[in-house]
Amino acid sequence: MQNSEDIWNRVDAHRTAFEALSDRVWEMPELGFLEHRSAAEHVAMLEQQGFRVTTGIAGIPTAMVGEAGDEGPVIAILGEFDALPGLSQEAGIAEHRPRAGEAAGHACGHNLLGSAAMLAATAVKDWLAANGLKGRVRYYGCPAEENGAGKLFMVRAGAFADVDIALSWHPAPFCAVNNAVSLANVAIDFSFAGRASHAAAAPHLGRSALDAVELMNVGVNYMREHMPSDARIHYATLDAGGVAPNVVQAHAKVRYVIRARDLTELHPLVARVRKIADGAALMTETQVTARPVSGMSNLLGNTPLEQAMHDNLARLGPPEWDAADRAFAREIQATLRDDDIVSAHRRFGLPVNRDEPLCTTIVPLDYQANGGIGSTDVGDVSWVVPTAQIRGATYAIGTPGHSWQLTAQGQSPLAKKGMVHAAKVMAATAVDALRNPALIAQARADHAARTDGNPYVCPLPDDVPPALDMALGR
């Protein structure tokens, strides 16, 4: 039943331009907060489509909002455009081959994510104008989802203060309403300062910052046994103190990401990790400083909006794949392990089907997800605005997130079909809300009930600025 509605025709009318935008962003993969060229592409497209554009939201050069329409309710559609380090890959092939001279890659499909969100906003803008209705639609261009939590800073700066509902999506193997479960997290850089000395001639005079990092890691690894079961802690060494083993390392730095079900569970874990850092400094007679660089809240669901998105998914049906789409998806699947394919189905509560390489169903609204849980900075938006998201089928079932296989599919016809499909669901849901104020009222009431006695508390203190250099490991 594809394209039986006016709003879907309006999405189709712009699809070529937005597929090209997605392709251009794929070609220039940029890391979080450094997405200057990608953001410029998004700003140019917003201007070309006649949106009123504001850039530099929350002091972030690559954050933007484009607005259209007058008065009435405000519908936000959230987009992203950051890439990942080390996941460079040629497009359209099913073998691992990084692009020459390119380290980063769109291995989470954010080239599609941002383009579909703006495509939906554009169709809604046209629909508002054609129907002469009061109402505003905004595209939020949100930087650094992968590492820097751009949306948290946009929320903290009040960019969502007058928004009625927010909609978004994420590339996925299946079409489904997003299960609104994600982990809250905080990222903290721990820098240790010691004293250099000749490691053979005067070791007693040195105090090793690298020892402190190692002892901290050991301490945290012992802590893991004594955490809530959904909590996660990861670390990456940003500075090991240099390349000379015969110099006692005077400086070293480690980045920690601490995750938990919600902020109430997260904060005590963060305090324990900080104690371990202090302990490592005490043991090694070094000094430690802790710099929070990012944080994200867990997602809050919204039943009326999720129902509305599901109804639109059900009316639209899954994307219409052709033989070439299936053939490419099968080639990609041949590079995966059977485990990948099995767990992709389980994650969406589906029976394992090895015959279909692409999504041919709409996952039921009440599916029981079975698998690991990540984090997203959409979480912070969801605490201040009723928010719902879908997952849109854009890649072969079983493709791991953040893999070369995902980068490889980012410019494929099948990915673009999924992207346009997701735009249609978001646009139709926005139109539902603009046509039917009761939906917005229900979404607000649901949100109020979920936050009653439990208001939003930003996971980062007000004086922590966006870590614009975070992707550089500084």
Q: Which two tokens stand for residue 375?
A: 């984090």
Structure tokens at 51: 């949106």
Burial 354-385 (b: 16+ CB within 10 A, else e): eeebbbbebbebeeeeeeeeebbbbbbbbbbb
CB of 146 to Zn ion, least distance (A): 7
User: C-beta of 27: minimal distance to Zn ion in Å?
Assistant: 18
Nearest to Zn ion of 108, 177 (CB atom)? 108
Q: How does strand 184-193 pair with strand 251-260?
A: antiparallel
- Dig out the tokens for 223 from the structure: 């802590």
Q: For the window 106-135, what string marks contact with Zn ion as x by the rule CB under 5 A? A: --x---------------------------
CB of 229 to Zn ion, least distance (A): 24
State which residue, 35 or 211, has the beta carbon closest to Zn ion: 35
- The structure tokens 């497209």 sit at 45
Q: Tell me the C-alpha distance between 338 and 225, whole Å.
A: 30
Q: Which residues pair with 307 in a beta bridge?
A: none
Of residues 108 and 341, the one with the C-beta less far from Zn ion: 108
User: Quick check: 349 and 173 in contact, CB under 8 A?
Assistant: no
Closest CB to Zn ion among residues 108, 252: 108
CB closer to Zn ion out of 108 and 332: 108
- Cα separation of 106 and 87, whole Å? 7
CB of 144 to Zn ion, least distance (A): 11
Q: Considering the complex, state which of residue 394 and residue 442 has its C-beta at the smaller distance from Zn ion.
A: 394
Distances (CA, A) of 170 to 114, 117, 160, 293, 469: 9, 10, 20, 24, 25
Minimum distance between the CB of residue 108 and Zn ion, rounded to whole angstroms?
3
Number of residues that bind Zn ion (CB under 5 A): 1
Q: Distance (Å, rounded) from C-alpha 43 to C-alpha 109? A: 19
Taking CB atoms, the residue at the shortest distance from Zn ion is 108
**Smallest gap, in angstroms, from Cβ of residue 80 to Zn ion?**
7
* Angle subtended at Cα 154 by Cα 62 and Cα 191, rounded to the nearest 5 degrees: 80
CB of 68 to Zn ion, least distance (A): 26
Residue 108 or 363 with smaller CB distance to Zn ion:
108
To the nearest whole angstrom, how small is the minimum distance from the Cβ of residue 109 to Zn ion? 7
Q: Where are the alpha helices (DSSP H) in 317-460?
A: 323-333, 338-347, 378-384, 404-408, 413-435, 437-451
Is 149 near Zn ion (CB under 5 A)?
no
Q: What is the CA radius of gyration of the chain?
A: 23
Which of residues 108 and 358 has its CB atom nearest to Zn ion in the complex?
108
To Zn ion, the closest distance from the beta carbon of 374 in angstroms equals: 8
Q: What is the distance between the alpha carbons of residues 438 and 444, in angstroms, rounded to a whole number? A: 10
Does residue 124 sit in helix, strand or coil?
helix
Stretch 71-110: interaction string toward Zn ion, x if CB under 5 A: -------------------------------------x--
Distances (CA, A) of 122 to 129, 139, 320, 334: 11, 9, 23, 38
- 249-308 positions binding Zn ion, by CB under 5 A: none
**Shorter beta-carbon distance to Zn ion: residue 108 or 183:** 108
Give residues in contact with Zn ion (CB under 5 A).
Answer: 108
